[in-house]
């Protein structure tokens, strides 16, 4: 194994496990809520889709913090870390407040999503609880991305896994009513989410400012708010973070839109979509972790103006992603029925979910290559054109095709209904992956 692969894996594996912890929070939420019935499962699915539809933009902006840290390390500008932390924190709080306001709009105007009355009645109070969890979740991402930029990824992993255990335990207490508490049903999952995300935020902030591995201490951070300095990172945060946020927004918005369209077809279709996207999100975290690790390595080499290492880290990141995603494609193809059965015993939901996992097996490779390409391009501060390419692939090509196949296609049933929506997404992912990976090679070839 070459040194480039070792560096990427060393940084990536704790990120992967940490991201899996975040996704498994949703996984166990879905699993435990699914026991309440398919309408609760459908309500949880639409609420989480809308929540991440709104929050993914500030999450994407926060990804820029790690990239900027990597570039500063490459340029050996260590005296600016506390100012980056200050400006990143202010940016995080501002975006969190705006995003919470958008979620509140959906809470008060939920009818625009055109869901069934039973799903709407369950979803409104649950989405309100999710809204209150957004600020602590974003504070966690602020601290985690700064730590990741310094290659200290194990701290975030440990805290995320601890929060996962806490969330599952609290789900058991609040959803079903144990240890003397009332059984709150779906809302119980919301209470558990708030508490676990507050734990994430507090713990990650302690690591950021008190770990010996991070060259920023609490007193420096607090003191930076009183400094009168011309050095500011807002322009760079938004130059990298704004397009990065749009990239994630366009993709997650497409999947949120797919959930809404699935809901138009019926609660069973939405429930099947939710179980399939939950599983696909688990495998995506591997590609997302490799993308983050590759981006940090690429950013450091880019800060040092080492084009050879930039290309080598990018190429090796794509190689790892190819191997991992092919493995998951095989698993989804061979075990689609048993995997769907983890979430439901409703025959109709089970059949639709198994078919969706078959389609998900096809786009595993495209999904992984796209995610890693976005990361390595962000590492060289190329974010504007990728954002435009992702928008075109999803919203000009994938979504219209998915809508047509789901509503008007007269071809085989495999391509109709919610399956058609997923086929449209598969096409969009493939186009995006092809163009983004080509762009990385093109830019490096011309430097």
Nearest to 59 by CA among 289, 247, 299, 196: 247
pLDDT (average), residues 137-153? 92
pLDDT, position 249 = 86
| Residue with the larger pLDDT of the pair 414 and 8 | 8
Written as one string, the DSSP assignment of 150-216 is TT--HHHHHHHHHHHHHHHHHHHHHHHT-TT----THHHHHHHHHHHHHHHHHHHHHHHHH-TTSS-
pLDDT (average), residues 94-98? 95
Q: What distances in angstroms separate CA 185 from CA 129, 145, 346, 381, one per listed residue? A: 13, 34, 19, 45
Cα 407 → chain centroid? 29
Q: What percent of the chain has pLDDT over 90?
A: 33
pLDDT (average), residues 164-193? 90
Angle between helices 267-303 and 347-379 (to 10 degrees): 20
Cβ neighbors of 21 (< 8 A, separation 6 or more) are 157, 160, 161, 163, 164
pLDDT, position 141 = 94
**324-345 per-position pLDDT tens digit:** 999 999 998 898 888 888 877 7
pLDDT (average), residues 188-212? 93
**Integer Cα distance of 27 and 172 in angstroms:** 14
Q: Would you call 78 exposed, middle or buried from its count of C-beta atoms within 10 A (0-12, 13-18, 19+)? A: exposed
Q: Would you call 197 exposed, middle or buried from its count of C-beta atoms within 10 A (0-12, 13-18, 19+)? A: buried
Q: Is the pLDDT of residue 206 over 60?
A: yes
Phi, psi at 211, each rounded to 5°: -80, 140
pLDDT, position 414 = 57
Q: Is the pLDDT of residue 409 over 60?
A: no
pLDDT, position 31 = 79
Domain of residue 227 covers 3-445
| Residue with the larger pLDDT of the pair 257 and 207 | 207
pLDDT class of 318 with cuts at 50, 70, 90: very high
Taking a C-beta distance cutoff of 8 angstroms, is the pair 373, 318 a contact? yes
pLDDT (average), residues 78-89? 85
Taking a C-beta distance cutoff of 8 angstroms, is the pair 90, 58 a contact? no
Taking a C-beta distance cutoff of 8 angstroms, is the pair 15, 289 a contact? yes
Return the minimum-mean-pLDDT range out of 310-314, 345-349, 365-369: 345-349
pLDDT, position 132 = 95
pLDDT (average), residues 188-200? 93
pLDDT class of 230 with cuts at 50, 70, 90: low
**45-76 per-position pLDDT tens digit:** 788 878 887 888 999 899 889 888 888 887 77
**Integer Cα distance of 256 and 282 in angstroms:** 17
Domain count, the chain: 1
Q: Distance from first CA to last CA of the chain, Å, rounded? A: 27
pLDDT, position 413 = 54
**Pure H helices in 77-153:** 81-108, 117-149
Which residue do the tokens 């302690």 mark?
A: 206
Return the minimum-mean-pLDDT range out of 7-16, 41-50, 240-249, 407-416: 407-416
**Integer Cα distance of 89 and 63 in angstroms:** 13
What is the reported pTM? 0.82
Q: Is the pLDDT of residue 231 over 70?
A: no
Q: Is the pLDDT of residue 370 over 80?
A: yes
Q: How many CA atoms lie within 13 A of 405 on its CB side?
A: 23
Written as one string, the DSSP assignment of 2-35 is -HHHHHHHHHHHHHHHHHHHHHHHHHHHHHHHHT
Taking a C-beta distance cutoff of 8 angstroms, is the pair 257, 402 a contact? no
**249-291 per-position pLDDT tens digit:** 888 788 878 888 888 888 788 888 888 887 888 888 899 899 9
E strands, 342-447, are none
pLDDT, position 274 = 80
């Amino acid at each position: 194994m070459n040194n480039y692969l070792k560096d990427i894996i060393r940084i990536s594996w704790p990120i992967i496990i940490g991201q899996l912890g975040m996704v498994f929070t949703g996984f166990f939420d879905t699993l435990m809520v699914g026991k309440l019935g398919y309408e609760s499962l459908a309500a949880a699915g639409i609420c989480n889709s809308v929540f991440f539809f709104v929050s993914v933009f500030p999450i994407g902006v926060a990804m820029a913090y790690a990239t900027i840290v990597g570039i500063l390390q490459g340029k050996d500008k260590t005296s600016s870390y506390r100012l980056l932390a200050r400006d990143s924190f202010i940016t995080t709080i501002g975006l969190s407040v705006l995003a919470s306001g958008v979620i509140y709009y959906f809470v008060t105007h939920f009818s625009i999503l055109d869901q069934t009355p039973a799903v709407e009645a369950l979803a409104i109070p649950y989405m309100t609880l999710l809204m209150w969890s957004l600020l602590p979740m974003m504070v966690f991402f602020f601290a985690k991305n700064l730590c990741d930029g310094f290659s200290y990824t194990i701290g975030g992993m440990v805290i995320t896994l601890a929060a996962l255990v806490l969330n599952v335990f609290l789900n058991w207490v609040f959803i079903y009513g144990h240890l003397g508490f009332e059984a709150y049903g779906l809302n119980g999952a919301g209470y558990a989410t708030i508490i676990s995300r507050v734990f994430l935020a507090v713990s990650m902030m302690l690591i950021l400012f008190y770990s010996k591995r991070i060259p920023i201490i609490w007193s420096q951070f607090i003191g930076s708010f009183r400094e009168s300095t011309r050095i500011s990172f807002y322009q760079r945060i938004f130059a990298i973070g704004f397009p990065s946020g749009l990239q994630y927004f366009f993709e997650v918005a497409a999947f949120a839109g797919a959930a809404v369209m699935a809901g138009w077809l019926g609660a069973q279709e939405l429930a099947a979509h939710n179980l399939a996207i939950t599983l696909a999100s688990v495998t995506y975290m591997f590609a997302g972790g490799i993308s983050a690790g590759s981006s940090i390595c690429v950013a450091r080499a880019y800060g040092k103006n080492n084009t050879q290492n930039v290309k080598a880290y990018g190429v090796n990141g794509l190689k790892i992603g190819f191997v991992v995603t092919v493995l998951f494609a095989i698993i989804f193809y061979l075990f689609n029925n048993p995997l769907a059965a983890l979430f439901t015993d409703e025959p109709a939901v089970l059949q639709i979910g198994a078919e969706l996992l078959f389609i998900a097996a096809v786009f595993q490779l495209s999904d992984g290559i796209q995610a890693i390409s976005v990361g390595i391009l962000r590492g060289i501060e190329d974010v504007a054109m990728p954002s435009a390419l992702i928008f075109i692939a999803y919203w000009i090509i994938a979504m219209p095709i998915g809508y047509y196949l789901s509503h008007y296609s007269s071809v085989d049933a495999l391509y109709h209904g919610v399956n058609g929506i997923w086929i449209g997404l598969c096409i969009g992912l493939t186009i995006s992956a092809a163009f983004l990976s080509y762009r990385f090679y093109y830019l490096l070839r011309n430097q």
